[in-house]
Amino acid sequence: MDMFTEVFALCGVKPGDACAVLSETQTRPELAPLSELALLRLGARPFQVVLPGRRLTAPVPVRSTGASEAIGQIEPVVQALAACVFVADCTVEGLQHAAELPRILAGGARVLAISHEHPEILERCLPRADDAAPVREAMRRLKAARRMHVSSAAGTDLQVDLAGARIGGVWGFTARPGTLSHWPGGLVLAFPAAGTVAGTLVLDRGDVNLTFKRYLQDAVALTIENDHVVRIEGEGVEAETLRGHYAAWADPAAYAVSHLGWGLNRRARWDAMHFYDKADFNGTELRAFAGNFLYSTGANEVAGRHTAGHFDLPLRGCTVMLDGVAVVEQGHLL
């Protein structure tokens, strides 16, 4: 409860603030009560909204598709959340890609998506007030850049035209009305415009497939043309299961880039997945560990594409350059 109180205080929660604790019947049982108790400790006036679990609609055995359907377009829920000062989002996937989020933020609510992780992970990656500065600086650099080039000794050679891209970043808390952040945080992202990404992305051994929650045992090469993965090459089960999962969605947009960027959180660890059962681990830490290059496929509103298929693929050992200047060199954050 101490750490929840600290984070909510960083989000500017004040005595008397009307705050919602949003959860589902599948939410980790400790997250919503801890959120409510922490808000009460700060003198806020919390209430809970508990949503019923929804039927599995994905054609593959995952519930996390990168586009939360937890609210299910229930308009009174949207109105209640939009009218709050602060929303502690304890849903399984988080509202960051929910269709209802723009209306909730338009009401002035600030939303903190508490990642569906074991509480030890939240504690190790506890955000601090000074975490905002490096993410803001990375966002400034990314907004000013025209091109991104990503390379690695494994064979990655990716070109990204940043014209028209939407830039975002999260540092684990938010105190500004009408915004969302998530905890753990510490990464910067670009949602590229249509037709701006091409090249080769090589997932080496030890890189991460967060949809499958596993470290790769064999290298897989993705050929990307006009934003889309057009070839998946590699021997063994890694490439085979990747091809099968993409194909299961029967949707060309599932192969297209959603977002890309790099991690800035020096307290997050690449090897953390070894220590937790899959049910206790949602991988937010591995999206944010310092020096990773994160490539994701799936929905991208900037490019006008929507799909339920989604992959988050953090890579190690990459060099990320903006207009010829390195911000990450061989996996080391500069």
- Please determine, for residue 58, whether its predicted confidence score (pLDDT) is greater than 70: yes
SS3 state of residue 77 = helix
Tell me: do 133 and 254 sit in the same domain: yes
Are the CB atoms for 203 and 313 separated by under 8 Å? yes
Residues 153 and 103 in one domain: no
Residues 180-209 have pLDDT tens digits of 999 999 999 999 999 999 999 999 999 999
User: What pLDDT does 323 receive?
Assistant: 98
From 70, 89, 114, the end of a domain falls on 114
285-313 pLDDT tens trace: 999 999 999 999 998 989 999 888 889 99
Within 10 angstroms of residue 29's Cβ, the number of other Cβ atoms is 9
Write down the pLDDT at residue 190. 98
Specify the DSSP element, H or E, that contains 197: strand 197-203
Give the Cα separation of 175 and 242 in Å (integer): 39
Q: Is residue 79 part of a domain?
A: yes
- Residue 120, in any domain of the structure: no
Q: What is the pLDDT of residue 61?
A: 79
Is 94 in the same domain as 243? Answer: no
Query: Between helices 31-41 and 2-10, what is the axis angle to 10°?
Result: 60
Residue 57 has a pLDDT of 76
Mean pLDDT for the chain overall: 94
Tell me what pLDDT residue 64 has. Answer: 58
The parent domain of residue 52 ranges over 2-114
Q: Tell me, yes or no, whether 291 and 250 share the same domain.
A: yes
- Sole residue written with tokens 């919602």: 20
Same domain, 28 and 106: yes
Same domain, 144 and 29: no
Instruction: Please check the confidence at residue 29 and state whether its pLDDT lies above 80.
Output: yes
Q: In angstroms, how far is CA 10 from the centroid of its own chain?
A: 20
**Average pLDDT for residues 255-260, to the nearest whole number?**
97
Across 101-109, average pLDDT? 96
Question: Is residue 96 domain-shared with residue 143, that is, in the same domain?
Answer: no
In terms of domains, do 213 and 152 share one?
yes
Cα gap 313→317, rounded to integer Å: 13
Residue 308 CB contacts under 8 Å (≥ 6 apart), including other chains? 57, 58, 65, 66, 67, 249, 251, 254, 298, 299
Q: What is the pLDDT of residues 208-233, one digit of tens each?
A: 999 899 999 999 999 999 999 999 99
Give me the CATH number covering residue 12. Answer: 3.40.50
Query: Domain total for the chain?
Result: 2
d(CA 260, CA 276): 26
Question: What's the pTM value of the predicted model, to 2 decimals?
Answer: 0.93
CB 211 within 8 A of CB 245: yes
- Does position 67 have pLDDT exceeding 70, yes or no? no
pLDDT of residue 60: 82
Task: Report, as an integer, the average pLDDT of 131-145.
Answer: 97
* Same domain, residue pair 256 and 170: yes
Residue 119 in any domain: the answer is: no
**279: pLDDT confidence band, cut at 50, 70 and 90?**
confident
Domain boundary among 68, 84, 114: 114
Does 155 share its domain with 222?
Answer: yes
β-strand partners of 322: 148, 325
- What is the four-CA torsion angle of 48, 52, 58, 60, rounded to 10 degrees? 90
